[in-house]
């Protein structure tokens, strides 16, 4: 391939950003597939074309792009003295499930249909069945099956984010069009509906579960009071989309990550902006997470880095080279390790926080939407786009167990803190709640 014709990393990042913003846009997936193919990344290009064909089975551009992989010889001509990238083996490709990119807001605003859904009756006996004997011990890895509790027609548009309250009793779902709904895990009914004036990209609950932060397509973070349903205040968080929100462990600070590259720290008591900072390359900030002690913050960058920051003054502590865009990151309970999952690469990487050393990489995971460490940090639990829950041994990366949920692809998913319940949302607006048993 002539190097002058190779797409720039920025072009690929923009195309990836577009499909993350609108995962149901067929042309976006085809465009990204062709860019990746030209860059020599055949495996990821194939995944993009396959995703496009899932959305539109007769799409000519996707079929042509995919057909190229069946032709003999390399897809691209390497420069002189440079070896062509090896084609992935069919056996390896067959291990990777088809998966969409992380559920984010659509590029175009859709209108939500107003009104509450019909609520199911919450039975006290059902609540007792679900929540009796739930404690802080980690027993999820002993489960033998996933049982579907509810399959709900939750939204009239793409579900872009789901998250549980810290106590696991309520699931929040946000969608294109700006609607957020709170669901009772015990009864499967709608408890409240919040209406934002822009598409929802990301959601987070405060540690006490009383405040819900909604990061929006228009750059605003809306803070909702869960009990009363009142909008507490909007925070003008980004010149562009808000890709990530997270509360500090003590609930006094809200961090937001924006398309303009800035990480912003807000004082929850009065909404005052405490400080803002961004990576030296000024790239988009696509996610954020606090360490358990609240003193360190990790941000996901569009330039395939994870930055670690000191919360007190916004100093950059170090950068972790990821090699790919990351969809999710989580700290271990003691804050000594950071796990992060790739958007397209299908793997989870584990780093030591103290010196940034890459400890190991877990291969063959699907697109991961949420992860959870066991309290002792020995097991990592993940849920991905294929609706499967996986348990990994942290010290050697061994896959201990896989529990398969619904076969329909998820566009977002979340775990309760004890790992016993899973919530997911689809591009068709469906909300599912499962229990591990």
Same domain? 76 vs 150? no
Residue 72, judged by CB atoms within 10 A of its CB (0-12, 13-18, 19+), counts as exposed
Same domain? 142 vs 66? no
Q: Which two tokens stand for residue 366?
A: 């699907």
Say how far apart CA 150 and CA 147 lie, in whole Å: 9
DSSP state of 223: E
pLDDT at residue 365, as a whole number? 63
Same domain? 291 vs 328? yes
CA distances from 176 to 103, 105, 197, 322 (A): 10, 6, 10, 29
Q: Is residue 415 part of a domain?
A: yes
Is the separation of the CB atoms in 246 and 233 below 8 Å?
no
Range(s) of the domain holding residue 54: 3-95
Q: Is residue 172 part of a domain?
A: yes
CATH of the domain at 45: 1.25.40.10
The CA radius of gyration of the chain, in Å to the nearest whole number, is 21
CATH of the domain at 409: 2.130.10.10
Q: Please list the pLDDT of the chain residue by residue as tens digits (437 residues).
A: 444 456 777 678 777 877 776 677 777 788 888 788 878 888 788 888 888 887 877 676 777 677 666 544 333 333 344 343 343 333 333 333 333 333 333 333 333 333 333 333 333 334 433 443 344 468 899 999 999 999 999 899 999 999 999 999 999 999 999 999 999 999 999 999 999 999 999 999 999 999 999 999 999 999 999 999 999 999 987 788 999 999 999 999 999 999 999 999 999 999 999 999 998 777 889 899 999 999 999 999 887 889 999 999 999 999 998 878 888 999 999 999 999 998 876 789 999 999 999 999 987 667 889 999 999 999 999 998 888 999 999 999 999 999 988 778 899 999 999 999 999 999 999 999 999 99
Same domain? 162 vs 21? no
Instruction: Specify the pTM.
Output: 0.71
Same domain? 189 vs 265? yes
pLDDT at residue 279, as a whole number? 82
What is the phi/psi pair of residue 433, to 5°?
-125, 125
Same domain? 135 vs 61? no
Q: How many domains does the chain have?
A: 2
Same domain? 282 vs 234? yes
Same domain? 288 vs 392? yes
pLDDT at residue 300, as a whole number? 92
Same domain? 90 vs 133? no
Minimal CA–CA distance to 370: which of 385, 356, 358, 359?
385
Q: Which of 95, 115, 140 is the last residue of a domain?
A: 95
Q: Which two tokens stand for residue 173?
A: 């779902």
Residue 47, judged by CB atoms within 10 A of its CB (0-12, 13-18, 19+), counts as buried
How many alpha carbons lie under 13 Å from residue 394 in its C-beta half-sphere? Answer: 24
Q: Is residue 411 part of a domain?
A: yes
Minimal CA–CA distance to 425: which of 216, 171, 184, 241?
171
Kindly give, in sequence order, each residue whose CB lies less than 8 Å from that of residue 192, ignoring residues fewer than 6 positions away. Answer: 181, 182, 226, 229
């Amino acid at each position: 391939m002539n190097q002058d014709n190779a797409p720039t990393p920025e072009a690929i990042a923009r195309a990836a950003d577009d499909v993350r913003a609108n995962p149901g846009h067929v042309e976006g997936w085809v465009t990204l597939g062709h860019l990746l193919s030209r860059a020599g990344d055949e495996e990821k290009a194939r995944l993009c074309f396959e995703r496009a064909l899932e959305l539109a089975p007769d799409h000519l551009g996707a079929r042509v792009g995919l057909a190229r992989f069946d032709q003999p010889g390399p897809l691209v001509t390497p420069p002189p003295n440079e070896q062509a990238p090896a084609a992935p083996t069919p056996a390896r490709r067959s291990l990777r499930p088809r998966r969409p990119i992380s559920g984010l807001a659509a590029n175009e605003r859709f209108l939500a249909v107003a009104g509450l859904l019909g609520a199911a009756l919450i039975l006290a006996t059902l609540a007792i069945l679900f929540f009796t004997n739930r404690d802080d011990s980690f027993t999820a890895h002993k489960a033998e099956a996933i049982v579907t509790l509810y399959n709900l027609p939750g939204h009239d548009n793409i579900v872009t984010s789901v998250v549980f309250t810290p106590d696991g009793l309520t699931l929040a779902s946000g969608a294109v069009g700006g609607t957020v709904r709170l669901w009772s895990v015990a009864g499967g009914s709608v408890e409240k509906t919040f209406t934002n004036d822009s598409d929802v990209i990301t959601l987070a609950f405060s540690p006490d579960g009383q405040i819900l932060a909604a990061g929006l397509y228009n750059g605003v973070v809306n803070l909702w009071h869960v009990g009363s349903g009142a909008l507490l205040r909007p925070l003008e968080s980004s010149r562009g989309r808000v890709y990530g929100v997270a509360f500090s462990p003590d609930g006094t600070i809200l961090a937001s990550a924006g398309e303009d590259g800035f990480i912003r720290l807000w004082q929850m008591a009065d909404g005052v902006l405490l400080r803002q900072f961004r990576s030296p390359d000024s790239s988009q900030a696509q996610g954020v997470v606090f360490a358990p002690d609240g003193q360190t913050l990790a941000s996901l960058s569009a330039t395939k880095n994870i930055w670690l920051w000191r919360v007190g003054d916004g100093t950059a502590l170090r950068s972790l080279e990821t090699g790919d865009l990351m969809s999710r990151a989580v700290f271990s309970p003691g804050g000594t390790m950071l796990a992060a999952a790739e958007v397209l690469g299908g793997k989870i990487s584990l780093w030591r926080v103290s010196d940034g050393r890459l400890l190991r990489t877990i291969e063959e995971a699907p697109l991961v939407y949420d992860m959870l460490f066991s309290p002792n940090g020995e097991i990592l639990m993940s849920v991905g786009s294929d609706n499967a829950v996986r348990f990994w041994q942290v010290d050697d990366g061994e896959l201990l167990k896989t529990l398969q949920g619904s076969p329909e692809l998820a566009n977002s998913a979340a775990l309760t803190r004890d790992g016993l319940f899973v919530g997911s949302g689809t591009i068709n607006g469906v909300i599912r709640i499962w229990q591990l048993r």
